[in-house]
Structure 1
């Protein structure tokens, strides 16, 4: 296994499957830290891989997934959630003994359920999720400081090798993240609240305003800073968020219902012109928001 708990982290060969914002930024962070030898970029989009190569995100393009992971010490899956299991099924039999497979999927329960049974003896699986991102995608969006000051959650299974877990922890620490080890169910419910629900609300808000037809013109053209800032995440990759909504369905529905309760409360206060209750509602929200800054 690459590196050890006593040595400076060094991964001789890293294979990144899905060289976009998440996978590309990890590669750049490890390169900048001198913690990786060769980075192999694997993906279906040749133009994106060629861009990644030109920008120095990766060192080599490999169109054959199996060949790309054959000699890798660490394989990072950075593809949409619904594709992770299929990609893992292809690469796991081709990985060398002692190699580690990890991922950056925003949903962990469904991913672990699908991948864990596929892991052969001698290969280590460490599920993970870096909580970082922007609304941009592709190799051009990658930058080495994406993970600085952010959190990365690891959700090891009962079969996860402790040394493999330690190495993946160190990978994310070198990238600048605070690493938290968490149970799978807690991860999916926490992320449904702090990440998945806000994206659903942003998408719904843009669609609601865009569909407003009292006037012939598109009133979205009048949107200013507040609307644009609030809905920035609605520019995120639709494929990624479709997959998240499907795979974290129960936790996300729970949070949408929670949101609907509070929105209904606000709607009723507005309907009744209840200035005192409106003030209390806004104040409670402001205090909660200010407390996390």
Structure 2
């Protein structure tokens, strides 16, 4: 018997999930997006097996519904679900970055006998939209599920058996745990990155050259500030309680740093950076809560043709490059070629290839 899945919202996340789930046996993927052009692209690129124009009608026949829409839009769809003629044991899930409001609405659906299990695949890309969708986007990333208390084990098992085809690490946490953890390692860093860019903007009039110097390490540190402002407006508002807690902690930490500077004790200052280095070096390098581009840093000598030499080596090994850039000014490293790859396996293969055949040093930042 064929399992039927409906993905509503065919952007980067929804489209990538649809592509990944096409690998599931005896499973047919239907897709819908409010944007007509997106539906056309999804049909042309075979993002789903079949594009539908009426999600309510399609929902009558499917076993799983996945919302690949922003949280605010998902909340609207969940309200509409209350009046839809759904299959008796349909399982519904989402992909939103915050879970508190979603799971409150899920409680309303449960009261009507509808099963909703919150979801959040923690992967992304610097690109957006259906044209950027990839079946391997979630490989080795965490896929967080946030079921309501007392959710039936069989429902969880059915959803997990489907999501395993994303090759993500599926884990279950409460909505509160999810929102706290993502605030710490994803939402709050976005706020900090944006604030650093604002601070750089204030330099424009008196020290205009500062922006030129920001092309290296500063640009890397603040990369996430280039994210969609509407998306981050919504995330910030939806998770503001957790973000306020993080901001208060950050302000205390900055007071601590200010005290270190005022006292001027070199040993204490060195210790502060040493502890930070130790903690940072212990962090895993696999995919986490924020977008991971699988960057490989290569120290290259300055001679004509060195970049084509490196890319040629990777081409020989059939390793696909998603992005390529040179760090022009960086305080501690010079001549750095940054190669973005599709997944962790490709990055490891690329590092081995470059080190072995060109004898260039590679590392992961």
User: Is the pair's TM-score, using the shorter chain for normalization, greater than 0.5?
Assistant: yes
Aligned to 2:297: none
Structure of larger gyration radius: 2
- The match for 1:97 among 70, 88, 94 is 88
Asked if the contact 1:109–1:188 (Cα under 8 Å) also holds between the matched residues in 2, the reply is yes
1:242 aligns with 2:238: no
- The match for 1:277 among 268, 275, 291 is 268
Aligned to 2:352: none
- The match for 1:230 among 195, 198, 221 is 221
Give the 3-state SS of the residue equivalent to 2:170 in structure 1.
Answer: strand
Quote the Cα distance in structure 2 between the aligned partners of 1:268 and 1:141: 47
1:100-179 equivalences under 5 Å are 100-119=91-110, 121-158=112-149, 160-179=151-170
Gaps of 5+ in 1: 3-10
Deviation string for 1:29-48 (max 9, x for gaps)?
A: 111x2346332222222222
The change in CA–CA distance for 1:50 and 1:271 in structure 2 (over 3 A counts) is farther
Give the 3-state SS of the residue equivalent to 1:71 in structure 2.
Answer: coil
Quote the Cα distance in structure 2 between the aligned partners of 1:209 and 1:48: 37
Q: Which one is further off, 129-138 or 213-222?
A: 213-222
Quote the Cα distance in structure 2 between the aligned partners of 1:253 and 1:287: 27
Give the 3-state SS of the residue equivalent to 2:83 in structure 1.
Answer: helix
Q: Which one is further off, 85-94 or 113-122?
A: 113-122
Quote the Cα distance in structure 2 between the aligned partners of 1:238 and 1:36: 39
1:26 aligns with 2:6: no
- The match for 1:76 among 66, 75, 81 is 66
Aligned to 2:78: 88
Quote the Cα distance in structure 1 between the aligned partners of 2:109 and 2:212: 49
1:49 aligns with 2:32: no
Aligned to 2:256: 265
Deviation string for 1:85-109 (max 9, x for gaps)?
A: 1111113432222111001112112
The change in CA–CA distance for 1:285 and 1:98 in structure 2 (over 3 A counts) is same
TM-score for the superposition, normalised by structure 2: 0.71
Aligned to 2:247: 256
Write out the 4+ residue segments of structure 1 that deviate beyond 6 Å after TM superposition: none
Structure holding more helix per residue: 1
Quote the Cα distance in structure 1 between the aligned partners of 2:36 and 2:19: 19
Quote the Cα distance in structure 1 between the aligned partners of 2:248 and 2:101: 21
Gaps of 5+ in 2: 285-365
Quote the Cα distance in structure 2 between the aligned partners of 1:46 and 1:211: 42
> Per-residue deviation at 1:284?
1.1
Give the 3-state SS of the residue equivalent to 1:263 in structure 2.
Answer: helix
Asked if the contact 2:78–2:105 (Cα under 8 Å) also holds between the matched residues in 1, the reply is no
Aligned to 2:191: 200
Deviation string for 1:118-160 (max 9, x for gaps)?
A: 3464532111222222232211221111211111121211353
Q: C-alpha root-mean-square deviation of aligned residues, in Å? A: 2.3
Asked if the contact 2:67–2:93 (Cα under 8 Å) also holds between the matched residues in 1, the reply is yes
Aligned to 1:16: 7
TM-score for the superposition, normalised by structure 1: 0.87
Q: How many aligned positions are there?
A: 283
Relative contact order: is structure 1 or structure 2 higher (C-alpha 8 Å, sep ≥ 6)? Answer: 1
